[in-house]
Amino acid sequence: MSFKWGVIALLLAGFGFAQTPEVTVTFQNVGSSAWTITGAQGAEDVAELNTENAPLTLAVGQRYHFINLGTLQIHPLALRGKDGEPLLNQRPQERPFETDPAVAFVADDEGITFTLTETLAEQLSTYYCTAHPAPLMEAPLEVTSP
Using the rule CB under 5 A, give the single segment among 17-25, 54-62, 105-113, 123-131 that binds Cu ion: 123-131
Which is closer to Cu ion, CB of 38 or CB of 117? Answer: 38
Q: Binding of Cu ion at residue 131 (CB under 5 A)?
A: yes
- Asked if the peptide bond before residue 135 counts as cis, ω within 30 degrees of 0, the response is yes
Kindly write out the interface string for residues 37-76 of this chain, putting x where it contacts Cu ion by CB under 5 A and - elsewhere: --------------------------------------x-
Minimum distance, C-beta of residue 92 to Cu ion, in the bound complex (Å): 18
Cα angle 56, 105, 65 (rounded to 5 degrees) comes to 45
Q: Binding of Cu ion at residue 132 (CB under 5 A)?
A: yes
Which residues, other chains included, contact 98 with Cβ-Cβ below 8 Å and sequence gap of 6+? 87, 88, 89, 92, 105, 107
Residue 53 DSSP class: T
Minimum distance, C-beta of residue 125 to Cu ion, in the bound complex (Å): 18
Which is closer to Cu ion, CB of 43 or CB of 131? Answer: 131
Which is closer to Cu ion, CB of 129 or CB of 141? Answer: 129
Using the rule CB under 5 A, give the single segment among 36-44, 96-104, 110-118, 137-145 that binds Cu ion: 137-145
Residue 65 DSSP class: E
Q: Give me the half-sphere count of Cα atoms (radius 13 Å) on the Cβ side of residue 142.
A: 10
Q: Binding of Cu ion at residue 129 (CB under 5 A)?
A: yes
What dihedral do alpha carbons 124, 15, 20, 37 form, nearest 10°?
50
- Between CA 79 and CA 129 the distance in angstroms is 9
